């Protein structure tokens, strides 16, 4: 009698459940998705390259213009008492006048661009630079220290060209970066609502994580663009020999980057909240236009009021314009050491409040399809 041994089916190996990602990991995953989608966009890469090339071209052009002015020689009048201040300096066409009054007369009739006359006995400098309506930048770059300036007719000429260009640069970079990446967040939010992808996303991660990841990803991209432009400006100024401009711009550029970081986080959260209130791409402008106006305002203000200390002071303490107004005031030397710190604290407080409001609007509007959600309804939930 034969017995058969029953065959045993091997039991499947126990599977280890993969742990769910933490909240921080989920935020980074959303941020990586935002960064990757933007870097794969040819339009974004090309526009960034054009912006960098434009910044480099403007810096190089400024260096060549300064060098050409230096080669031709800046006409300067001195007296026998102040001639030693420009002794050995190249790029100056020096005229020795008989007296301080004669040197001033040469400035008034346009024979020279500036004159070095004797300073007062209690002044820290032995001389004063006399100009008609603006100080030649090449002269100040060549002097070892910045002396007091006496303008004969300060209201006659246009604003100083260098000040205007720097104000335009801060305003334009802020406008382009904030509007570009703020618009990207808005389009991404509405696209996810239209395709119903957002329903899948929030079934796996909380809404606040989705919002934080979008803001983080676009903030990284925006800051990378700002740092790249700052590096191009610094390297360009150093290579073209504009050491004087580089020395005065170093701290303002650093503060601009810091202010822009928190200012953009504020704006990005508002863009995401505004976009969550609509369900179609063509309706984005209806809710994001007020935020776009807040971005455009600093650009136009620094163009028209870059020589108005009252307007610049107000701008430097308003959260939406502080990233432009405060660095410009620091470059002009109008800001005390504590003012950037106070302005940054106000910006941080405003940023926290804006994130709280934007998070509530985003959470209450994200799953509502169809007609545009009214602001009051989005705040009430």
What pLDDT score was predicted for residue 333?
83
DSSP 181-248: HHHHHHHHHHHHHHTTHHHHHHHHS-HHHHHHHHHHHHHHHHHHHHHHHHHHHHHHHHHTT-HHHHHH
Name the 3-class secondary structure at 92. strand
The pLDDT value given to residue 158 = 40
How many Å separate Cα 153 from the centre of its chain? 33
* Predicted confidence (pLDDT) at residue 352 exceeds the cutoff of 80: yes
The pLDDT assigned to 101 comes to: 87
* Cβ 295 vs Cβ 322: under 8 Å: no
Inform me whether the pLDDT recorded for 157 exceeds 50. Answer: no
Work out the pLDDT band at 345, boundaries 50, 70, 90. very high
- Please give the pLDDT value at position 154: 58
pLDDT value at residue 129: 84
- H helices, E strands: number in the chain: 13, 5
| pLDDT for res 75 | 86
Strand partners, 118: 127
Which of 32-36, 61-65, 161-165, 321-325 comes out lowest in average pLDDT? 61-65
How high is the pLDDT of residue 266? 94
Average the pLDDT over each of 53-62, 199-208, 344-353 and give the range with the smallest value.
53-62
Asked if residue 200 has pLDDT above 80, the reply is yes
In this predicted structure, which of 4-8, 268-272, 330-334, 356-360 has the lowest mean pLDDT? 4-8
**Residue 97 to residue 86: CA distance in whole angstroms:** 14
**Contact call for residues 372 and 284 (beta carbons, < 8 A):** no
When pLDDT is cut at 50, 70 and 90, the band that residue 163 belongs to is confident
Task: Give yes or no for a contact between 312 and 163, defined as CB atoms under 8 angstroms apart.
Answer: no
**119 vs 178, residue with greater confidence:** 178
Note the pLDDT tens digit of each residue in 209-235. 999 999 999 999 999 999 998 888 888
H or E stretch at 253: helix 243-276
- Report the pLDDT value the prediction gives residue 148, as an integer from 0 to 100: 74
Q: Decide if pLDDT at 3 tops 80.
A: no
pLDDT of 72 reads: 58
Residues 93 and 110: their CA atoms lie apart, in Å, by 14
Tell me the Cα Rg of the chain: 29
Tokens of residue 379, six digits:
């705040």
Compute CA 198 distance to the chain's CA centroid, rounded to the nearest angstrom.
Answer: 32
pLDDT value at position 120? 63
Q: What is the distance in angstroms between the CA of the first residue and the CA of the last residue of the chain?
A: 80
Is the distance from CB of 44 to CB of 38 less than 8 angstroms? Answer: yes
pLDDT at 28: 93
Q: What is the pLDDT of residue 204?
A: 87
Task: Indicate whether 139 pLDDT > 50.
Answer: yes
Query: 224 φ, ψ to 5°?
Result: -60, -40
How far apart are alpha carbons 324 and 58 in whole angstroms?
A: 19
Q: Which two tokens mark 255?
A: 């503060």
What integer pLDDT is reported at residue 276 of this predicted model?
92
Percentage, residues of the chain above pLDDT 90: 35
pLDDT at 16 over 80: no
User: pLDDT grade, residue 339 (50/70/90)?
Assistant: very high
Out of 10-19, 226-235, 351-360, give the one with best mean pLDDT.
351-360
Q: Lowest mean pLDDT: which of 7-16, 187-196, 206-215, 281-290?
A: 7-16
Reported as a pLDDT band with limits 50, 70 and 90, residue 166 is: confident
Q: What is the mean pLDDT of the chain?
A: 83
């Amino acid at each position: 009698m034969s017995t058969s041994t029953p065959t045993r089916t091997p039991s499947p190996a126990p599977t280890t459940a993969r742990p769910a990602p933490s909240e921080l990991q989920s935020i980074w995953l959303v941020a990586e998705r935002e960064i990757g989608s933007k870097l794969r966009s040819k339009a974004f890469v090309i526009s960034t390259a054009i912006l960098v090339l434009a910044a480099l071209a403007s810096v190089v052009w400024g260096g060549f213009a300064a060098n050409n002015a230096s080669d031709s020689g800046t006409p300067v009048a001195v007296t026998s008492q102040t001639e030693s201040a420009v002794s050995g300096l190249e790029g100056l066409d020096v005229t020795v006048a008989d007296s301080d009054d004669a040197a001033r007369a040469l400035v008034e009739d346009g024979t020279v661009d500036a004159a070095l006359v004797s300073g007062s006995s209690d002044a820290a400098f032995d001389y004063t630079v006399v100009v008609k309506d603006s100080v030649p930048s090449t002269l100040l770059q060549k002097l070892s220290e910045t002396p007091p300036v006496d303008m004969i007719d300060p209201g006659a000429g246009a604003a100083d060209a260098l000040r205007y260009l720097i104000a335009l640069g801060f305003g334009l970079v802020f406008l382009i970066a904030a509007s570009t990446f703020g618009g990207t967040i808005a389009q991404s939010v509405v696209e996810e609502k239209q395709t119903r992808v957002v329903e899948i996303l929030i079934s796996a991660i909380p809404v606040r994580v989705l919002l934080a990841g979008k803001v983080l990803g676009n903030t990284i991209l925006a800051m990378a663009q700002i740092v790249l432009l700052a590096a191009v400006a610094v390297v360009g100024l150093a290579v073209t020999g504009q050491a004087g401009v580089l020395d005065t711009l170093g701290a303002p550029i650093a503060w601009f980057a810091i202010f822009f970081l928190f200012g953009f986080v504020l704006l990005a959260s508002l863009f995401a909240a505004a976009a969550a209130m609509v369900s179609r791409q063509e309706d984005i402008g209806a809710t994001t236009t007020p935020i776009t106006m807040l971005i455009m305002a600093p650009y136009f203000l620094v163009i028209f009021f870059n020589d108005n200390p009252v307007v610049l002071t107000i701008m430097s303490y308003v959260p939406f314009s502080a990233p432009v107004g405060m660095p410009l005031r620091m470059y002009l030397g109008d800001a005390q050491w504590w003012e950037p710190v106070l302005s940054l604290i106000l910006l941080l407080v405003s940023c926290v409040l804006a994130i709280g409001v934007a998070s509530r609007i985003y959470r209450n509007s994200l799953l509502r399809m169809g007609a545009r959600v009214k602001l009051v309804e989005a705040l009430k939930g």
